[in-house]
Structure 1
Amino acid sequence: MSDYRRWLGALVCFILVSVVFIALKGDGMPNAEYKLPANSGETSLLLYIVPGLVACSLSRGRRVLNPFLGAMAAMAVCMTLRYHANASLWQEAAYGVSAVCWCVFGAFIYLFALACMRRRSLF
């Protein structure tokens, strides 16, 4: 029964990171009338914490590796679909790496909160 949970975290992270990417960078996507402002600052990268939190809670065993693999796969697919000739490759790569880092940071936040709750229950 736990075999499906082995990759569930990576799959959920892939889907959630793709949804966040489309919401933030959906200017080239069809029907993107509800996208966020383009120059709203890079604080919008903090939204990538949520897929890391959810994927870590659904993962069994490899709680940091699964969100990392899911985020890397999602960024590879999203960047390939969105790459424009006029976009700077280095800037797009930096955005992708930063999104993956924030996603893994979300997994670490979940693990930290879990450890704090376990620690508190000991007293």
Structure 2
Amino acid sequence: MAYIQSRFGSLLCGALFLAVFVALKTETVSVRHLAPGPEYGLLLFAIPGFITAWLIDHRCLTAALYGGLLALPFCYLIRVLFFVRVRTLPQELAYAASAIFWCVLGALLFLLAQHFVRTLRATRRRT
């Protein structure tokens, strides 16, 4: 399903990554109710990778990775300028690495689902 050329995939993923980041930080999307606890909002970073893999035919994993890396400086700049700093720099880097991991994992999950669908269709044709 190649709807977008692969050279724009990183930009698309970066824009979606930035949108998820802003939605989480402005609490437009609230995923936890207690202050100390796990960051379930990181799971939402799989959405940009999933959408990127759906819209780009090949090289979707690198597009998801480069898109996340492209969006990170903008995310950190938004965080510094508009939000109160509650984490140290190493904690911010760990959060960013986790967000990129989930973004690439979203692309991998799409590829896995696509493989299962193709395999299922091929077995149905043979029978």
Q: With the length of structure 1 as denominator, give the TM-score of the two structures.
A: 0.81
Identity among equivalent positions (%) equals 31
Q: Could you list the runs of 4 or more consecutive aligned residues of structure 1 that deviate by over 3 angstroms after TM superposition?
A: 34-38, 84-87
Say yes or no: does 1:69 pair with 2:66. Answer: yes
Contact 1:8–1:58 (Cα < 8 Å) also in 2:
no
Contact 1:17–1:51 (Cα < 8 Å) also in 2:
yes
Number of aligned residues? 115
Q: Structure 1 counterpart of 2:14, which letter? A: F
- Structure 2 unaligned runs (5+)? none
Q: Structure 2 counterpart of 1:53, which letter? A: F
Report the Cα offset of residue 58 of structure 1. Answer: 1.3
Contact 2:47–2:103 (Cα < 8 Å) also in 1:
yes
Q: Structure 2 counterpart of 1:81, which letter? A: I
- Structure 1 unaligned runs (5+)? 27-31
Report the Cα offset of residue 6 of structure 1. Answer: 1.5
Contact 2:13–2:64 (Cα < 8 Å) also in 1:
yes
Q: Structure 1 counterpart of 2:118, which letter? A: R
Report the Cα offset of residue 35 of structure 1. Answer: 6.1
Give the distance between the partners of 2:10 and 2:21, measured in 1 at CA: 16
Q: Quote the RMSD (CA, aligned, Å).
A: 2.2
Deviates more, 1:16-25 or 1:77-86: 77-86
Q: With the length of structure 2 as denominator, give the TM-score of the two structures.
A: 0.79
- Greater C-alpha radius of gyration: 2
